[in-house]
Structure 1
Amino acid sequence: MPAAPHRSSIRLAALLLAVVSAGTFAQDAPRARARDLGVAPGIFAPGTHNAITDVAGVRVGQVTLVEGDNVRTGVTAILPHPGNPYRSRVPAAVHVGNGFGKFIGSTQVNELGELETPIVLTCTLCVWKAADAMAAWMLERPDMQQVRSLNVVVGETNDGGLNDIRARPVTAQAVRRALETASGGPVQEGSVGAGTGTVAFGWKGGIGTSSRRLPASLGGWTVGVLVQANFGGVLQVAGAPIGRELDRYAFQNAVAANTDGSRGLADDRGDGSIIIVIATDAPLGDRNLRRVASRAMMGLGRTGSSASNGSGDYVLAFSTADSVRRVFDAPKLDTSELANEQMSAVFQASVEAVEEAIYNAVFMATTISGNGETVEAIPLDRVRDILRRHGIAPAK
Structure 2
Amino acid sequence: MTISAPHLLTPSGKPRARRFAIPFDGEAGPHNAITDVPGVAVGYKTLISGDGELNVGQGPVRTGVTAIIPRPVDKLDIPLFAGMFSQNGNGELTGSHIIEEIGAFNFPITITNTHSCGVTRDATLRWIHNVRPDVIDTAWGLPVAGETYDGFLNDINGHHVTAEHVFEALENAVEGPIEEGSVGGGTGMITCNFKAGSGTSSRIVRWQDQSFTLGAFVQSNFGQRRNLTIRGNRVGPDLVEPKLIEQSTRAEKGSIIAIIATDAPFLPHQLKRLARRIPLGIAMTGGYGYHSSGDIFLAFSTANAIGATAESGRLATADFIPDVDIDPFFDAIVQTVEEAILNSLVANEDMTGRDGNFVPALPKSWLEEHYG
Instruction: Select which of 158, 162, 165 maps to 1:171.
Output: 162
| Runs of 4+ that moved beyond 6 A | none
Per-residue CA deviation, residues 9-43 of structure 1 (Å, 9 max, x unaligned), is xxxxxxxxxxxxxxxxxxxxx8521111122322x
1:292 and 2:285 matched = no
2:43 corresponds in structure 1 to 61
Long gaps (5+) in structure 1: 1-29, 250-257
- TM-score, with normalisation over the residues of structure 2? 0.88
The alpha-carbon deviation at position 147 of structure 1 amounts to 2.9
The alpha-carbon deviation at position 325 of structure 1 amounts to 5.2
Which range moved further: 146-155 or 354-363? 146-155
Change (3 A) 1:330 1:136: farther
Per-residue CA deviation, residues 224-272 of structure 1 (Å, 9 max, x unaligned), is 00000011131010012221100279xxxxxxxx9xxx97536755441
The alpha-carbon deviation at position 93 of structure 1 amounts to 1.1
Q: Which amino acid aligns with 1:317?
A: A
Matches within 5 A, 1:163-242: 163-215=154-206, 217=208, 219-233=210-224, 234-242=227-235
In structure 1, the residue corresponding to 2:175 is in which secondary structure? coil
1:359 and 2:342 matched = yes
Distance in 2 between residues matched to 1:360 and 1:81, nearest whole Å: 25
Contact 1:90/1:325, CA 8 A, preserved across alignment: no
1:254 corresponds in structure 2 to none
2:153 corresponds in structure 1 to 162
1:33 and 2:26 matched = no
In structure 1, the residue corresponding to 2:295 is in which secondary structure? strand
Contact 1:41/1:355, CA 8 A, preserved across alignment: no
Change (3 A) 1:145 1:124: closer
Change (3 A) 1:325 1:173: farther
Q: Which amino acid aligns with 2:247?
A: L
Distance in 1 between residues matched to 2:306 and 2:328, nearest whole Å: 19
- Larger of the two Rg values belongs to structure: 1
Percent of residue pairs bearing the same amino acid type: 38
1:121 and 2:121 matched = no
Count of aligned pairs between the two proteins: 347
Distance in 1 between residues matched to 2:262 and 2:96, nearest whole Å: 19
Q: Which amino acid aligns with 1:206?
A: G
Contact 2:78/2:305, CA 8 A, preserved across alignment: no
Matches within 5 A, 1:269-308: 269-308=251-290
Q: Which amino acid aligns with 1:231?
A: F
The alpha-carbon deviation at position 330 of structure 1 amounts to 5.3
Per-residue CA deviation, residues 111-143 of structure 1 (Å, 9 max, x unaligned), is 110111111000000011111111111123231
Q: Which amino acid aligns with 2:149?
A: N
Contact 1:199/1:231, CA 8 A, preserved across alignment: yes
Distance in 1 between residues matched to 2:308 and 2:182, nearest whole Å: 35
1:380 corresponds in structure 2 to 364
Change (3 A) 1:267 1:239: farther
1:10 corresponds in structure 2 to none
Which range moved further: 176-185 or 364-373? 364-373
Per-residue CA deviation, residues 48-99 of structure 1 (Å, 9 max, x unaligned), is 0000000111000111011323111001000111045652011011110100
Q: Which amino acid aligns with 1:165?
A: I
Change (3 A) 1:168 1:110: same
Contact 1:201/1:248, CA 8 A, preserved across alignment: no
Contact 1:324/1:336, CA 8 A, preserved across alignment: no
Q: Which amino acid aligns with 1:120?
A: T
Change (3 A) 1:156 1:302: same
In structure 2, the residue corresponding to 1:225 is in which secondary structure? strand
Instruction: Select which of 79, 102, 106 maps to 2:96.
Output: 106
Q: CA RMSD in A?
A: 2.2
Distance in 2 between residues matched to 1:67 and 1:227, nearest whole Å: 24
